[in-house]
Amino acid sequence: MAKNFSLKDQLFNVEKTRYLAGLFAGADPSFDTEMFEGQVMSRLLDLELKERMAWIAACLQRAVPGDLPEIAPVLLRALPPPLDPTKTDDDFGDFIFAPLGDWVVNVGLDHPDLALDVLEDLTQRFSMEWAIRPFLNQHSDQVMERMELWCGHDSYHVRRLVSEGTRPRLPWGQAVGLNMTDALPLLDRLHGDPTRYVTRSVANHLNDITKKDPDLVLDRLKAWASTKQQEQGELRWMTSHTLRGLVKSGHPGAMKMLGYDPDAKVTADVQVNGDARIGEALDFEVTLNGAGEQPVLVDYIIHFQRPGGKTSAKVHKLKQTALRDGTLKLSKKHKLKGNATTFKLVPGTHRLEIQVNGQVRAAIDFDLLG
């Protein structure tokens, strides 16, 4: 990523604001584009990403006043054509339409039926996963009934909204009062979807649930495998993506479901080559020994020193493979970025562990130099 890159500036800027203003001017001749653009830009660049969404929604609410029944016709006329229905993935839409969801929440909570109609159209331009959640909290039964219909919608964007909007731990999303099991009947229908955009959301939804109830998820995946509603290769991918958090934590049931024996008779030896310095790399080699050609899922865990004497463990993927004639040699150079903004490296003694099929099989301490 380029230095000084700003996602919020790429997604919400004067050009995007002008584009949105032009759409509304085309839908309503009385829409004052100059006033709208000026008002948005008077504060936009001082705000963070989610704040920009809320601010643009507030400016739209001033430019087109009224409750949802009054503004819905203008809003819907302003929309461009839906996203390409022939695609199956990587078609999230244009972020500039996200504020329209905030606007619907602001003026539509007292009009849930109409709001759900509008969100159904909006999510075919940009995902309304954040906007649907206030309606789930205030009109849960109504939204869940509509989602039953949306599971069979022609647009995969609407079908995905069912899974993504009900996720227990949706990033940036308002918490919802659903029980973890409430959306499972919907996922039972969606797990067989032909589009990766939907099945990825289903897997992410289940991954959220694994944080609280791993056995519930494992049982659901077994049930889905028995129904044979999903193509086998896609279900394998969904299972792996669902269980990624459990795999990092070494959950035995997840390992077994993915075909790895957590009790496999495998030994490991790890060696660090040279010095490990901030700004360079941790260079290490791993040798595994065991019986035959058994499959192995190998992760490595670095216990980083933190300010104040605490440590923080981070799990990283190394290899999914199998022993060859009872042995396997692996190597890795793990970059030790000195300029990361989210995780600052601290010199001192660190620990490297090698995890095979969910069990730590070898460990070594190393000094991280400044």
DSSP summary character for residue 97: G
- In total, how many domains does the chain have? 2
- Percent of residues, the chain, with pLDDT higher than 90: 90
Task: Return the pLDDT at 90.
Answer: 72
Radius of gyration of the chain (CA): 25
* CB-based contact 23:60 (threshold 8 Å): no
Q: Measured between alpha carbons, how far is 332 from 271 in angstroms, rounded to an integer?
A: 11
Question: Do residue 291 and residue 173 come from a single domain?
Answer: no
Q: What is the DSSP letter of 167?
A: -
* The pair of three-digit structure tokens given for residue 202, joined into one six-digit string: 């289903």
The CA–CA distances, whole Å, from 105 to 72, 129, 148, 195, 209 equal: 12, 12, 21, 28, 26
CATH number at residue 332: 2.60.40.10
Please tell me whether residues 194 and 84 are part of one structural domain. Answer: yes
Strands (E), the chain: 266-273, 276-277, 281-290, 295-305, 311-322, 327-335, 348-356, 359-369
Same domain, 324 and 219: no
Q: Is residue 103 part of a domain?
A: yes
- Measured CA to CA, the distance from residue 283 to residue 277 in angstroms comes to 10
Mean pLDDT of the chain: 94
- Both 118 and 213 in one domain: the answer is yes
Q: Which residue has the higher pLDDT, 88 or 251?
A: 251
Q: What is the pLDDT of residue 307?
A: 82
Range of the domain at 316: 266-369
Q: Which of the 8 DSSP states describes residue 264?
A: -
Task: Give the CATH number of the domain where residue 217 resides.
Answer: 1.25.40.290
Q: What whole-number percentage of the chain has pLDDT above 70?
A: 98
Is the model's pTM score more than 0.75? yes
Residue 258's pLDDT is: 96
- On whether both 94 and 198 belong to a single domain, the answer is yes
Is 237 found in the same domain as 97?
yes
State whether 221 and 281 are in the same domain.
no
Q: What are phi and psi of 308, to 5 degrees?
A: 90, 5
DSSP string, 16-75: HHHHHHHHHHHH-TT--HHHHHHHHHTTGGGS-HHHHHHHHHHHHHHHS-S-HHHHHHHH
